[in-house]
Structures are given as structure tokens and as C-alpha cells.
Amino acid sequence: MADETKKIIELAREMADLKEKIDELGMKKTMLQKQYDALRFKTIPPTMEQSDIEKMSISGLGTLYLEGTVDVSIPAAVRDEAYRYVEEVLESGEIIKPFIQTSTLKASGKKWVNAGIELPEDLFKVNAYSFAKILRK
């Protein structure tokens, strides 16, 4: 019985050590993700734009380019009015269920903005931006 107890304690300590390592890696991943996002959202896009570079091939890495995207959200206070606008003006009522999925609103918003449709500022929050992306060879 004592040997079994020792074995269980040993396994529990191993489990606790692994959990600690997992937590440490999670914190490191979070820190690295913030650095990665800072480069691709804040540092590289304006640097490429200032240099008038749309894309470039980098030996051993691939093609670096900027991709545009649009974030669209609807403030809760105007949700019903915005849904009516989506249904009646944008003729996109099919995206409305009891609510509009965030990813569906983002995709539809990107389509509308790229088509030159201006969404009312009192109903939609629109944030268009570019970010850096690498297409690997």
C-alpha cells in the first residue's frame, strides 16, 4: 500500500509540474501573439504604405503583402433599427436569424463596404484596416 501511495504522489507531482509548464507556455504564447499582432497590424502596414510597397517576395520566407479587412458591429441600443436597415435597405434579411452572427456581419459588412455602400454611422461601427500577411511558398 505504501508503494502505491508513493506512486500516486509521484504521478500527482508530475501532473502538477506539467500543468505549471502548460501555464507558463500559455503566458509566453500570449506575449508572442501580442508582439506578432503589433507587427502585422501596427508596424508593417504603415511602413509598407509609406514606401509605396503593396507586396514583396522575401527569399526563404514567401510573399509579404497587405490585406484589407473591415470590422462591423451594431451597438445594442440600435440593434432593432440596424436589423431593419439590413433587411430593407441592404436587402440582406437572410443573414438575420434571431440575431446576426458576428462572423456573418463581418463578412457582409466587408462586402458592403467593398461595394461602396456607406453604412449609417448611427447604426453601425465600421473599422476598415489593413494588416500584413505572409503567403508561404
| Residue after which a domain boundary falls, among 53, 68, 87 | 53
Query: 38 lies in which domain range?
Result: 1-53
Q: Does residue 78 sit in the same domain as residue 131? A: yes
Q: Does residue 33 sit in the same domain as residue 69? A: no
Q: Does residue 122 sit in the same domain as residue 76? A: yes
The answer to whether residue 9 scores a pLDDT higher than 90 is yes
User: Using an 8 Å Cβ cutoff, are 87 and 93 in contact?
Assistant: yes
Q: Does residue 32 sit in the same domain as residue 72? A: no
Q: Does residue 1 sit in the same domain as residue 43? A: yes
pLDDT of residue 116: 93
Query: What pLDDT digit, counting tens, does each position of 68-113 carry?
Result: 999 999 999 999 999 999 999 898 888 888 888 999 999 999 999 9
1 — pLDDT class (breaks 50, 70, 90) = low
Q: Does residue 19 sit in the same domain as residue 6? A: yes
Domains contained in the chain, number: 2
Query: What pLDDT digit, counting tens, does each position of 41-80 carry?
Result: 999 999 999 999 999 999 999 999 999 999 999 999 999 9
Q: What is the DSSP string of 73-120?
A: E--GGGHHHHHHHHHHTS--GGG-SSS--HHHHHHHHHHHHHTTPPPP
**CB neighbours of 105 closer than 8 A, spacing ≥ 6?**
72, 73, 74, 95
Task: Please tell me the pTM assigned to this model.
Answer: 0.67
